[in-house]
Amino acid sequence: MAKNQRQRHALHITVPVPAGVKSGQPVKVGQICGVAIIDREADGTATLWLDGSYDLPVAGAVATFGAPVYIKADNTLTATATGNFLFGTALGTKGAGTGSLEVAPIGYTTQTAAGA
């Protein structure tokens, strides 16, 4: 076994996050997408979980189970791809407007803004 391994799966990690991040919020930090499990600490970090599924507010209609859900620069979620980044996968459907939707974050990614 490698003696330099730090985390076996690295699915629950502590990272620097923007000011104001609260527990339960979706967060994108660089190429990492997850959900804050704790409020932002005084040192500017929070623990993100990159696995599981969460009931999160999503703007726009999601008509298909398994549809992509995107994150905007302000760390809010949307069904709109253009100019936003893939955050996760819808595990349900919802109508227009902003409402709760079960979403599974994608965790680590290498992507650019959709439609950019």
Cα separations in angstroms, 87 against 15, 42, 54, 58, 59: 17, 26, 12, 11, 13
Q: What integer pLDDT is reported at residue 109 of this predicted model?
A: 79
Query: Which residue spans within 1-116 are E strands per DSSP?
Result: 12-16, 26-29, 32-36, 45-49, 54-59, 68-71, 77-78, 85-90, 98-105, 107-108
101 Cβ neighbours under 8 A, 6+ residues apart: 55, 56, 57, 58, 62, 69, 77, 90, 91, 92, 93, 94
Q: What integer pLDDT is reported at residue 5 of this predicted model?
A: 65
Residue-wise pLDDT for 4-15, tens only, equals 766 667 789 999
Residue-wise pLDDT for 83-108, tens only, equals 999 999 999 999 999 999 999 999 98
Quick one: which of 80, 78, 76, 10 has its CA closest to 47? 10
Q: How far is CA 114 from the centre of its chain?
A: 15
Q: What integer pLDDT is reported at residue 115 of this predicted model?
A: 62
